[in-house]
Amino acid sequence: MLHLSTRTHRTIRCLGLALATVGALAADIRPGSIPTRDGDRTYLVASPSGAVRPGRPLVILLHGHTGSARHALGQGRGAASPLAAWLPIVDREGVVVVALDGARGADGKQGWNDGRPGKAGNPVTDDVEFVRRVLVRLQEDFRVDPSRVYAMGMSNGGVMVFRLALDLDTPLAAIAAVCATMPGDRPPSGRLRPVSVLLIEGTADPLMPYGGGQVTFFGHARGSVLGVEATLAVWRRAAGLPDLPVTESLPHLGGAEDPTRVTRSTWGGTGGLQVRLLRVEGGGHAEPTLSRPYGLLYRAVTGPQNGDLESAEEAWAFFRDKRAPEP
């Protein structure tokens, strides 16, 4: 019998995923732009091949600070973002995915006006209005199901996803934030519109602290955020969910070189509002992925990256049965 190391098993598994992805990348990717009060804003749309079929779900994808829509969908040079794992989902599940481009802030980098107090360098654009206009355009072009609009974001894009849940006039069916929590140094006051929320968070994130506080990037303060537990409590209360979750440990697939471990905690039952946390013990500021790990240089800045799950697949599994309430 041939005995293979854990690293070899993981390499074979990732190669299989990569080959399967190549076979599944029949998604049609097209650029788009739309006029706003801040000038023309751009995006990429990944849609299933073939004729437009009404009633498809739509996923809004927001990159992190310094990122782009092309990077998020793996269309640029260099390593693709783990969020590019949405592409095989597009054709397999009949999903339309739109990756939006942020605007350039005072630091010259692309990002989002996510509502963090004391932020430095983030743009001052009306990004909620940008998303609103894109939704109108895509409902015209693809006739997507307005009750099945979801949003997922990484880091700065993840914080922006919470702002969309708060400020967008079209209710979202569910949101997912990776390495990101709510903006601010205190929970919002007043009644919130309930929404299902998925958090994917590393406990050792060196940029956006798990316990909340000041976000930093290469020593520069970039505004404050709530902690993970406080963010979870906000949305549990909004949805009227119990304090105690159902928790399970995920199998460790990352190999001996991966020091992280994942537990999945879910508040609420299937068919209704849910709040879910994928807690990456020892994880840094990087999306967990099975097939698209970042290089050593990136992880030297962001900390360990988990290899036990595919963030996009976890988000879709969470999104797929959620519907927005009737207006």
pLDDT tens-digit series, residues 20-79:
444 445 689 999 999 999 999 999 999 998 888 999 999 999 999 999 999 999 997 766
Q: What is the structure's pLDDT at 263?
A: 98
- In whole numbers, what is the pLDDT of the chain averaged over residues? 89
Give the whole-angstrom CA distance, residue 280 versus residue 305. Answer: 9
* Alpha carbon 143 to chain centroid, angstroms: 23
Q: What is the structure's pLDDT at 26?
A: 66
Average pLDDT over residues 233-245: 95
Q: What is the structure's pLDDT at 130?
A: 98
Closest CA to 276 of 263, 259, 261, 264: 264
Q: What is the structure's pLDDT at 327?
A: 62
So what's the architecture of 6-319 in CATH? 3-Layer(aba) Sandwich (3.40)
Q: Against a cut of 0.75, is the pTM above it?
A: yes
User: What is the number of H-type helices and E-type strands within the chain?
Assistant: 8, 14
Q: What is the structure's pLDDT at 118?
A: 67
Average pLDDT over residues 299-316: 95
- Residues with Cβ within 8 Å of 82's Cβ and at least 6 positions away in sequence, in order, are 286, 287, 288, 289, 291, 292, 293, 310, 311, 312
> Does 268 score more than 70 pLDDT?
yes
Least confident stretch, 12-26, 34-48, 293-307: 12-26
Q: What is the structure's pLDDT at 80?
A: 74
SS3 132: helix
> Does 4 score more than 60 pLDDT?
no
Average pLDDT over residues 99-103: 97
- DSSP type of residue 130: H
Q: CA angle at residue 196 from 112 to 289, to 5 degrees?
A: 65
Q: What is the structure's pLDDT at 16?
A: 45
The region, left, alpha or beta by phi > 0 then psi within -120 to 50, assigned to residue 248 is beta
The residue type at 24: A
Least confident stretch, 22-31, 205-214, 263-272, 285-294: 22-31
Average pLDDT over residues 182-206: 92
Q: What is the structure's pLDDT at 47?
A: 96
